[in-house]
């Protein structure tokens, strides 16, 4: 491959790909990366319930829950890697306590409690 710079022809030996650092968990929280982009179809309220509508609703609900589960596992992996406790045998207890205290307010509150309590298992 050849490129011309200021009327000079230059041979390009290799193009270097820019290194993209993975985003830390807190940046992903701010960007909404742990929120599912899938939408659940509305529940079919008509009587009699059409079996095709019900089946479509159930499939969309199942896919949404699978996506939520995947994103939640990604959240836990990211936060454990960030604090360096991925291999700590007590990480599941910390997960449980952080979740129990903060889950009503979402991932950001869970992360807040996690960051305050992580020193107890280090």
Task: Map residue 33 onto helix, strand or coil.
Answer: coil
Q: Which residues pair with 2 in a beta bridge?
A: 11
Is this model's pTM higher than 0.95 or not?
no
CA distance 95 to 11: 54
Residue 42 has what pLDDT?
Answer: 86
CA distance 29 to 23: 10
What confidence tens digit (pLDDT) does each residue in 101-115 have? 999 999 999 999 999
Q: What is the DSSP string of 4-72?
A: EETTEEEE---PPPPP-PPPPHHHHHHHTTTS----PPPP---SSPPHHHHHHHHHHHHHHHHHHHHHH
- Paired tokens of 10: 């230059």
CA distance 110 to 10: 54
Lowest mean pLDDT among 13-22, 24-33, 112-121: 13-22
- Paired tokens of 33: 């990366």
- Asked whether the predicted pLDDT for residue 100 surpasses 90, the reply is yes
Residue 73 has what pLDDT?
Answer: 97
- Asked whether the predicted pLDDT for residue 21 surpasses 60, the reply is yes
What confidence tens digit (pLDDT) does each residue in 30-74 have? 999 999 999 888 888 776 667 888 888 899 999 999 999 999 999
Confidence category of residue 17, pLDDT binned at 50, 70, 90: confident
């Amino acid at each position: 491959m050849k490129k011309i710079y200021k009327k000079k022809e230059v041979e390009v030996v290799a193009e270097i790909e820019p290194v993209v650092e993975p985003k830390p968990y807190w940046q992903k929280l701010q960007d909404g990366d742990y929120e599912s982009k899938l939408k659940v179809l509305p529940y079919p309220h008509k009587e009699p319930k059409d079996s095709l509508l019900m089946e479509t609703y159930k499939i969309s609900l199942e896919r949404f829950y699978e996506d939520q589960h995947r994103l939640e596992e990604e959240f836990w992996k990211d936060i454990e890697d960030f604090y360096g406790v991925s291999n700590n045998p007590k990480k599941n207890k910390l997960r449980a306590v952080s979740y129990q205290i903060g889950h009503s307010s979402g991932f950001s509150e869970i992360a807040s409690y996690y960051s305050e309590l992580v020193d107890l298992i280090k």
